[in-house]
Each structure stands twice: as structure tokens, then as C-alpha cells.
Amino acid sequence: MTKYIPNRARQNGFTLVELMITVAVVVILAAIAYPAFQDSVRKARRTDAHGDLMQAAQRLERCFTQFHAYNNAGCGIVAPLVAGYSSTEDFYQISRTALNANDYILRAAPPAGGPQNEDTGCTAITLDQTGARSPEDCW
């Protein structure tokens, strides 16, 4: 004679172990993806410096064409470059390291405490009158 055992009702849902494994997988993926995302954001913010350096260089070239000198006081870009000014998106400070009649070197550097300070390889981006850009990897 067979003993009767009532059927247990089938339970729906996830066990605690299954949920913990899922959470662990999500945490591991996030730990891998977040630094890569941050690096991409830093690289994208460099375009702020590129655009402002190129714009300043164009204004200096127009100044040279008109006054035959990059540092002529009649050129509207000279005073802001000497004092330094914030880039369009405020991620960089634009200034000059050299500015005389025949040549210039423009520099974009992140302001102290700014989000671009974490961009360790590209803390200062430069452009000169010949179009030379440095560091190469930052352009």
C-alpha cells in the first residue's frame, strides 16, 4: 500500500541565492564599466580646450595679418590671453606661455579643483603659431 503525500504547491519567484548572484554580476559589470565611462567623459571634455585654443589662434593670426605682430595692443585677444580666461564650458583655463611679435604658445590647463584634473596625461594642452600641438595624444 502506497502512502499518500499531498502535492506541495509550486512556488514562483527567485531564491535568495539567485538574487545574490544577480546582484554580484551587476556590481562586477558596474565596476568595470564606470571607469571606462569616466575616461570617455574626460576625453570628450578636451574638445572644450581644442575649440578655444583654435579660436584664440585664429584671432591671433588675424591680428598678425592686420598689425604684423601677434602681440599688438590693438588686437582684442591679447589682453584676455595675458590675464587668462575660462574656456567656453569652464573645463579649462586658456592663457599664453609665450606671446611676442613673431610667435606665440597658447595653453589650456584645467583650473584647480576642476573635473579635468583627473585627466592625468593631458593636464596642459598647447598650440603654437606653426600649428604644433602637444601632447599629441591629447589632440
Query: Which is more confident, 5 or 30?
Result: 30
Give how many domains the chain has, as a whole number.
Answer: 1
- pTM, 2 dp: 0.76
Under the banding of pLDDT at 50, 70 and 90, the label for residue 1 is low
**pLDDT, position 6:** 63
Say if residue 72's pLDDT is above 80.
yes
Residue 4 lies in a domain: no
Under the banding of pLDDT at 50, 70 and 90, the label for residue 61 is very high
pLDDT tens per residue, range 117-128: 888 888 899 999
Q: How far is CA 60 from CA 26, 83, 104, 124, 134, in A?
A: 52, 15, 9, 20, 19
Residue 24 lies in a domain: no
Residue 15 lies in a domain: no
Residue 94 lies in a domain: yes
Residue 28 lies in a domain: no
The mean pLDDT value for 58-67 works out to 94
Residue 39 lies in a domain: no
Phi (first) and psi of residue 14, to 5 degrees: -110, 150
- The residue range of the domain holding 111 is 48-138
